[in-house]
Amino acid sequence: MQHTSTKSPAKCVICGTPEPEPGTYPMVVGVGRVCLKDGMSKVKCEICGNEVKLLTSSKLQGRTLCLADHVKEVEKFRQHLVVGFDEDTEPAATILTRAFTEAPEGYTLLAVRRGRNSTHLWEAEYEKTEVFQMRCS
């Protein structure tokens, strides 16, 4: 991938038109810089099938996605999750139980600990179950 310095104007990755001034063309994740004309063209999200502007789409692992599906996909790849609990609103015992019983779907509880520099905040750390099992077998 070409490094875009602030001095040299980028070229539209689709039609090749150089931008009038450096930094004019918006960046499309996974695609590159595109001119405004191409940015307004419609692309189809490969997950929900909606037509969205290229500008608001992104490309992830070769698939064109709308913004909402992009967020969902990125979330899927997240291996760790930290959920916060507040001892001011519920007793510590409940927090410990809830951290375990209400683990997010597909995640395994790794640890529950006190939040950093806090006397009442707790953090429950989860790891994606597949990752957890891979590590343990």
The DSSP code for 25 is S
**Residue carrying the six token digits 């992009």:** 70
> Which residue in the set 36, 48, 74, 82 belongs to the binding site for Zn ion (CB under 5 A)?
48
Under rule CB under 5 A, how many of the chain's residues touch Zn ion?
A: 10
CB nearer to Zn ion: pick between 61 and 137:
61
The residue type of 26 is: P
What number of other Cβ atoms are within 10 A of residue 84's Cβ?
11
Burial class (CB in 10 A: 0-12, 13-18, 19+), 87: middle
User: Which span sits near Zn ion by CB under 5 A: 1-9, 21-29, 30-38, 108-116?
Assistant: 30-38
38 lines the binding site for Zn ion (CB under 5 A): yes
Q: Which residues bind Zn ion (CB under 5 A)?
A: 12, 14-15, 35, 38, 45, 47-48, 66, 69
